[in-house]
Amino acid sequence: MPPLQQVPPEPSSPCEWIDTEVRVRYAETDQMGIAYYANYLVWFEVGRGEFCRQRGFVYRDFEKENEAHLAVAEAQCRYHSSAHYDDVLIIRTRIQEFRKRTVRFEYEVLRKDDDALIATGWTLHVILDKKGKMKSFPPDYAHFLKSEVTQKA
């Protein structure tokens, strides 16, 4: 197995947020210029991918090296305010819970200009092998996430 990208950083707190910026594109809005609701799940994915990179691994490499996938089992998004065309949003991502076979990411979406809370949510992922069967999180990668929170059985 090739070496991983880097040693994971020590979190500054048990629930360290990783921030990622996105700009609302015209194609992501409805006729009123308001961000379409389904795009928030896409932005959660953008935040999750960057979270993993900053924690020390690339998801594509994780899939290839472990013949495994992090499948979304549940997703929740609560909308607090509207995002509009050309708004710069901060997608804040952190690990809410890490277990042997699941990981739950938590998200906050803020408008950069005024720090307004736009949305909050979470996604629950299960670790699956290539045949779609649940498996344990590979130890070579688990430490990149479980140092974030206390691991649960």
**Catalytic residues, which ones?**
30
Sign of torsion, CA 4 9 15 18? negative
Written in H, E and C, the secondary structure of 125-143 is EEEEECCCCECCCCHHHHH
Q: From CA 26, how far away is CA 103, in angstroms rounded?
A: 33
Residues 111/83, Cβ–Cβ less than 8 Å:
yes
Q: Alpha-carbon dihedral of residues 28, 33, 36, 41, nearest 10 degrees?
A: 60
Please, which residues have CB within 8 angstroms of residue 31's CB and are 6 or more apart in sequence? none
